[in-house]
Copies of this chain bind each other. A is one copy, B any other.
Amino acid sequence: MGADDQQERPEMIGWVVGFVDGEGTFSISLFRNESSKLGWQVFPEFVVTQSERNRDALGLLKEFFGCGSIYRNRRHDNRRHDNHKEDLLRYCVRNRKQLWQKIIPFFKEHPLKTSKRQDFELFVEAMELISRGEHLTERGLRRIARIAAKMNRKVPSAFLESSETVRRTGPKRA
């Protein structure tokens, strides 16, 4: 490693942490899915969103982590961002193996400096439950839902309202 690399690599690491502190999201979403065992699918995701003109910055993240994809959210698909004139791009890592092997170890070694660190820790907690298959049990799924609710309120409120929710909204029996 040359002198430049010794300087540049830590700066790049720092940039990734800072940019994710600003623009990143760790999320655990729960979606209705009739084909899942309990009727809900758990969807962990690491996302960084930028406007079209910052595609290069998302490309740097993709190159840095060596995984993930950049998706386009067309403006008419995203009414919450109607004040933007450009499409939004989302760098996403959804693959659980890549989350475990690349994203999680990086942010364990290089902690975030904002409150997103707490979101990250909750994300890891949920991922640990998923890796043990607990999302396939009613009790585990409920724990994951509670963790997700603490993170970014993407859990349908109906899911948390009743202790009978999982059973009640589960897949129809044949």
A27 → B minimal CB distance (Å) = 17
- Chain B residues near A53: list those with CB within 8 A: 114-115
A19 CB-CB contact with B under 8 Å: yes
Q: Which of B18, B51, B54 contacts A16 (CB 8 A)?
A: B18
Number of copies: 2
A55 → B minimal CB distance (Å) = 10
A2 CB-CB contact with B under 8 Å: no
Q: Which of B7, B14, B54, B56 contacts A17 (CB 8 A)?
A: B14
- Chain B residues near A20: list those with CB within 8 A: 18, 22
A160 CB-CB contact with B under 8 Å: no
A83 → B minimal CB distance (Å) = 10
- Chain B residues near A51: list those with CB within 8 A: 115
CB within 8 Å of B: which of A105-163? Answer: 110, 113-115
A21 CB-CB contact with B under 8 Å: yes
Q: How far is the CA of A75 from the CA of B18 in the complex (A)?
A: 26
Per-position binary interface string of chain A over residues 11-46, scored 1 when its CB falls under 8 Å from any chain B CB and 0 otherwise: 111111111111100000000000000000000000
| Interface contact A18-B22, CB-CB below 8 Å | yes
| Interface contact A21-B21, CB-CB below 8 Å | no
- Chain B residues near A7: list those with CB within 8 A: 10
A165 → B minimal CB distance (Å) = 26
Which A residues lie at the B interface, using CB under 8 A?
A: 6-8, 10-23, 50-51, 53-54, 56-57, 60, 110, 113-115
18 contacts between A and B (CB under 8 A): A7-B10, A8-B10, A11-B110, A14-B15, A14-B16, A14-B17, A15-B113, A16-B18, A18-B20, A18-B21, A19-B19, A20-B22, A22-B23, A53-B114, A54-B115, A56-B114, A57-B114, A60-B113
